[in-house]
Amino acid sequence: MLGPPVTVGPSMTTIGFIGSGHIGSQLARKAIESGYDVVLSNSRGPETLTALIAELGPRARAATAVEAAAAADIAVVTIPFKAYLEVPVEPLAGKVVIDTNNYYFERDGRFAAIDEGAQTSSGLLQAHLASSRVVKAFNGIQAADITADAHPAGDPARRGLPIAGDDPEAKATVAALLDQFGFDAVDAGSLADSWRFQRDMPAYGAKATAEGMREKLAAAVR
């Protein structure tokens, strides 16, 4: 499970995206703005990402999902949850993988283990990516707000966003990334705890400071 520490910082890190839709494209915009290189992928192939790459500029390129995973220092999986078993495993080994996914049974079909409370969607992704270090983040913020509602540290308007993961070092890496992107990371515990900020929970989609977010996480009832 352990891999080398990732130092996050502009010009040092490539963020590889599995999924380049509403959230993937917005996180890519924020990453470029913050000085990172990005490699984007989707299900249809790199040629369908031409317009987005042109918008993002020379620090962005399009690739297949396997290539984006291989190029990533940090990966982002941001796809409809039902496709999680298609995420490439081997090229993500040892890497920090940010999971923005939400389980919507209306879109994804029924997953009994989640419905019964025995699993979380992020726990299932971690089981699939057994040699990676999955951190759930950015699952409860509207895509547009990733660029429109980011604020510098100390700004009273700065939002707290929950993160969860089983590897403390990976969580610290993702918390540092959130900080650079303009958000305070709020530690919500392990992947097994991540139900606390899933759909229908008080923390899900909430616009709150870090302190407010901690209160909403504590108020969650499964």
Site of interaction with ligand NAP (CB under 6 A): 18-24, 41-44, 65, 78-81, 83, 86, 100-102, 139, 142-143
Please report how close the Cβ of residue 78 comes to ligand NAP at its closest, in angstroms.
4
Q: Which tokens is 69 given? A: 């995973």
Sheet of 37-41: strand order equals 60-62, 37-41, 14-18, 74-77, 96-99, 133-136, 160-165, 184-187
Nearer to ligand NAP, 1 or 127 (CB): 127
DSSP 13-41: -EEEEE--SHHHHHHHHHHHHTT-EEEEE
Please report how close the Cβ of residue 91 comes to ligand NAP at its closest, in angstroms.
13
Secondary structure letter of residue 132 according to DSSP: S
Q: Look up residue 198 and give its amino acid.
A: Q
Secondary structure letter of residue 140 according to DSSP: S
51-57 contacts: CB < 8 A, separation 24 or more? 52/20, 52/25, 52/28, 56/28, 56/29, 56/32, 57/32
Nearer to ligand NAP, 81 or 181 (CB): 81
Please report how close the Cβ of residue 11 comes to ligand NAP at its closest, in angstroms.
26
Tell me the C-alpha distance between 106 and 123, whole Å.
20
Residues pairing with 76 in the sheet: 17, 98
Please report how close the Cβ of residue 217 comes to ligand NAP at its closest, in angstroms.
17
Nearer to ligand NAP, 2 or 93 (CB): 93
Nearer to ligand NAP, 143 or 176 (CB): 143
Nearer to ligand NAP, 47 or 116 (CB): 47
Please report how close the Cβ of residue 210 comes to ligand NAP at its closest, in angstroms.
19
